[in-house]
Amino acid sequence: MLQVPFIRENKDLVITQLAKRNIDASSMIDAVINLDEDRKRIQTALDNTLAESNALSKEIGNLYKSGETQKANLLKEKTSQLKESSKELTDELGNKVNELNELLYKIPNVPNAIVPPGNSEEDNEEVFKEGDIPVLHEGALPHWELAKKYDIIDFELGNKITGAGFPVYKGKGARLQRALIAYFLDKNTAAGYTEYQLPHLVNEASGFGTGQLPDKEGQMYHVTGDNLYLIPTAEVPGTNIFRDTLLNESDLPIGITGYTPCFRREAGSYGAHVRGLNRLHQFDKVEIIRVEHPSKSYEALDGMIAHVKNILQELKLPYRILRLCGGDTSFASALTYDFEVFSTAQDRWLEISSISNFETFQANRLKLRFKNSEGKNELAHTLNGSSLALPRVLAGILENYQTKDGIIIPEVLQPYTGFSIID
């Protein structure tokens, strides 16, 4: 959530930068400023009323002590009126604060200055590419055909049990999935991230804290009976560890990692580009999350990018990095880089990771602060990234490592799988 003082002091900048998201925010920003003016006016009136009431209470006490009961009783009538006024002003103030916060919750984060304008993924900027695209044998198959051929993932069985987008991993497919999770976690903990096992459902406050709620796209599964939400990413429970927390500056930086299944409705997408593992309602992901000093957060973002690069280099998968345009950047992010792996069998790039800096946007919602060197409370910066999302990594491995004799397991994963080929 944007801070009101920041909006007031940088009104033109906020409107200009939000235009990169294809949003005309002028009316919303004006409304925020006007609501805040109303809030301050009511707060001033309430403060004055309370001050007057307190002063009269002291005067009444002195009058009773001096025996001037009649004067004291006359003033008591006035204090009753002031108490009624203060109650009305308190209610009015609460309503105005709620109205202001409801509007602030609807305003996305301001994109970083280097975020390019644009409408969709077509306008994202490629900033890095590495790895050789393999030349496959004649008759090479996409991963959903390989899954059936080697009986390692059963999409039809998942459809029977639950519905489309809930695959069943079997045999060596399940072991490869488990190997990837263990490998990713080992890489992350070796890089200094502390491993957590996190809840798979969160409450409403957690959803608001990281910006998934209000859920405008209807992408979250809602357990209505308990008003809980299935997590769309480990970012939500992981970052909410620090909700309503005051840290010391010496506590920073904080890095955590965790594996969770993730649940997204992903409504309305059909066709070959979402076949197989390309788009799922339930999928596995290993996440990295950082809480940083504001002066260090972009250095930390670079470090997270380098970390994911190293994983993909070890997996020997061809990949590229995109800087997302304003129209493709998530609601809460100030700057996002996507990693994509090249699927040779599908002849297309598949997104496997998003790494984002949210600056103070989530921290303001979370009330996540630290006491700085001057002894003042300051909002921290939060960052997170996939390290990595498994479905499309697995798809890339199956497709790019296929041979006529079977699917070779990347060398770095073989100690985890216990086998070197799926045949």
Residues 274 and 333 in one domain: yes
DSSP 405-421: TEEEPPGGGHHHHS-SE
Low-confidence residues of the chain: pLDDT under 50: 268
Cα distance from N-terminal residue to C-terminal residue, the chain:
51
Per-residue model confidence (pLDDT) at position 44? 97
Residues 225 and 177 in one domain: yes
Residues 79 and 130 in one domain: no
Residue that finishes a domain, picked among 74, 105, 136: 105
Per-residue model confidence (pLDDT) at position 272? 54
Angle at 303 between CA 301 and CA 306, to 5 degrees: 115
Query: Is 114 part of any domain?
Result: no
Query: Is 343 part of any domain?
Result: yes
Number of domains in the chain: 2
Query: Is 241 part of any domain?
Result: yes
Per-residue model confidence (pLDDT) at position 42? 97
Query: Is 136 part of any domain?
Result: yes
CA gap 378, 249 in Å, rounded: 9
Q: Which has the closest alpha carbon to 416: 395, 403, 397? A: 397
φ, ψ of residue 126 to 5 degrees: the values are -75, 125
Per-residue model confidence (pLDDT) at position 72? 77
285: CATH: 3.30.930.10
Query: Is 115 part of any domain?
Result: no
Residue that finishes a domain, picked among 70, 105, 140: 105
Query: Is 308 part of any domain?
Result: yes
Residues 94 and 38 in one domain: yes
Residues 49 and 129 in one domain: no
Query: Is 113 part of any domain?
Result: no
CA gap 42, 10 in Å, rounded: 24
Residues 51-82: b if buried by 16+ CB within 10 A, e if exposed: eebeebeeebeebeeeeeeeebeebeeebeeb
26: CATH: 1.10.287.40
Tell me which amino acid residue 315 is.
Answer: L
Residues 203 and 304 in one domain: yes
Kindly state the helix (H) or strand (E) to which residue 353 belongs, with its residue range.
Answer: strand 348-359
Residues 36 and 158 in one domain: no
Per-residue model confidence (pLDDT) at position 267? 53
Residues 185 and 210 in one domain: yes
Q: In what order do the strands lie in the sheet with 245-248?
A: 245-248, 368-371, 377-379
* Range of the structural domain that residue 174 is part of: 121-422
Query: Is 112 part of any domain?
Result: no
Structure-block tokens of residue 79 = 């204090």
DSSP 231-244: -SSTHHHHHGGGTT
Asked if 245 and 380 touch (Cβ cutoff 8 Å), the reply is: no
Per-residue model confidence (pLDDT) at position 274? 76
Residues 221 and 351 in one domain: yes
Residues 139 and 63 in one domain: no
Residues 145 and 269 in one domain: yes
Tokens 């041979």 sit on residue:
403
Residues 210 and 61 in one domain: no
Structure-block tokens of residue 231 = 């997590």
Residue that finishes a domain, picked among 45, 74, 105: 105
